Structure 1
């Protein structure tokens, strides 16, 4: 069955008791099992979604903020100990190869020990790192297209479009509203767009800020208000919209109703307010 599962839906890297987990998305489409982003908790979330770690066909990292790739190394190591013995292609920005080699170096005692003591295959070759750039890539029977979005100060940050036999899924990545997104998402069966609730930013900055306005400036220039995500979905004529990477998502003063009301200003179609483990069928 074709589906998208929002494994982790929290915007930002910090977690606290009772909060959601950072970003990761599972795409199951045309026989391919693809993980997009690997924030903290991605490994457990995949298993909770019923996907064996050895079943991954590809991993894509949209940008190098920690809440999108912190668990990439541990995920691959855990898949290896679970029996992974084939190469998994990884697509992501420049810097991921350095991360992977750094992880392997940090874990060299354990990895070398398991090679000798348990007879496992070498771990390093199991991840085949490819540079993610604007353009098209084939992932099995899927066509993956990438465009740069706007997520300053990071320049290599991407939105993704997956086209299968008869379904299209678009993932915005972390981004401010950009005019290119609506044509990029044109006619998609599902648009998963990051979203920010402007009314919740004051409380968020007061709770986790550093005493000045740098966090607020980052949020306001690098993320998309929910109403803008709705506008983009309407302009693109997508069939369904899911809000993901929610900022804020753990403030009891702001509930799902607030997200629905804000998005309804510009979007009248089917709406999913992302929660961890939410599976959205495409069929």
Structure 2
């Protein structure tokens, strides 16, 4: 099992549009484990298209409970179960994740009970353990370690950057956050920093297409980071690679990879990757 990061969904926000990317989800393969980071709409299909069998689902981490990060949590696990999943899956998420999972089970109770009785499937609820986490060490298993840092994503209080270390590699996921200087220390000398990013000149586009006018703009500016902010964190942290993800806007043809690179390369001296769905980065 090679060490790799695959971006499954790279747009910021829950809306999807024709020809555009999916909301946030990623697959990290490290230290012999497959870790799904966030479960936005499209994660199940995205995983299958990497060549992974959903029966191999192992660990899931949710950074926060905005829908573009958690909407397909239950459907992913259920789809894996209908594919033949028969071993335990552990979900690590912020406070409230257990309620999301139990609510999903309640909503699909008829289907789940029918398939257990009619198709001989194992009890789905008993296969899944949800562990709610806060700042600090989330998981230690052999040389694999996952640590969480609370970031600044108002009005969401329980939103966490994640640092995953194993096999001599470190990958940090910013989650959704306004510019947050402590993230530079958290990501110090990481091999990869996956950081959310906005283009200032793209805000008019996203507000115009989504609606909500000035209120949406206020949220975006208060709760998210511009690409230049992400570059500053990456430069201060001394990371090897900056991967721009959760892109806003991600589905406007007026903004290309060149716009993103122009925003970050004057600030960050390392390698820059502009996220796109299905992109795999070897570690």
The bucket for the TM-score relative to the shorter chain is over 0.9
Whether the aligned pair in 2 keeps the contact of 1:256 and 1:273 (CA below 8 Å) is yes
Cα distance in 2 for residues equivalent to 1:31 and 1:281:
14
TM-score w.r.t. length of structure 1: 0.97
3-state SS of the aligned residue for 2:39? coil
1:146 aligns with 2:148: yes
Residue 125 of structure 2 is matched in structure 1 by: 124
Partner of 1:225: 226
Q: Distance in 2 between matches of 1:140 and 1:63?
A: 26
- Please say if residues 98 and 132 of structure 2, whose CA atoms lie closer than 8 Å, have aligned partners that are also in contact: no
Shift of 1:125: 1.5
For 2:34 and 2:209, locate their aligned partners in 1 and report how far apart those are by CA, in whole Å: 37
Q: Is the 8 A contact 2:38 2:63 kept in 1?
A: yes
Aligned pairs for 1:1-283 within 5 A: 1-136=2-137, 137-210=139-212, 212-282=213-283
Structure 2: tracts of 5 or more residues without a match: none
Contact 1:228 1:266 in 2 (8 A): no
TM-score by length of 2: 0.97
Secondary structure at the counterpart of residue 154 of structure 1: coil
Tell me the CA shift for residue 140 of structure 1: 4.9
Q: Report the secondary structure of 1:218's partner residue.
A: helix
CA distance in 1 between partners of 2:271 and 2:146 (Å): 24
CA RMSD of aligned residues (A): 0.9
> How far off its partner does 1:96 sit?
1.3
Cα deviations by residue, 1:92-130 (Å, 9 ceiling, x for unpaired) = 011111111111111111111111111111011221000
CA distance in 1: counterparts of 2:269 and 2:249, whole angstroms: 23
Secondary structure of the 1:37 match is strand
Displacement of 1:85: 1.0
Inter-partner Cα distance in structure 1 for 2:176 and 2:53: 27
Counterpart-to-counterpart distance in 1, 2:205 and 2:115:
47
Name the CA distance, whole Å, in 2 between partners of 1:91 and 1:37.
10
User: In 2, are the aligned partners of 1:24 and 1:42 still within 8 Å (CA)?
Assistant: yes
- Structure 1's consecutive aligned runs of 4 or more residues displaced over 6 angstroms after TM superposition are none
Per the alignment, in what secondary structure is the counterpart of residue 120 of structure 1?
coil
C-alpha separation between the residues in 1 aligned to 2:5 and 2:194? 9
Question: Matched residue of 1:4: which SS?
Answer: strand
- When structure 1 is superposed on structure 2, of 102-111 and 60-69 the one drifting more is 102-111
- Give the Cα separation in 2 of the matches to 1:281 and 1:226: 23
* Cα drift, residue 56 of structure 1: 2.1
Task: Give the distance between the partners of 1:141 and 1:56, measured in 2 at CA.
Answer: 20
Task: Mark the runs of 5 or more structure 1 residues left unpaired by the alignment.
Answer: none
Cα contact 2:245–2:274 (8 A) shared by 1? yes
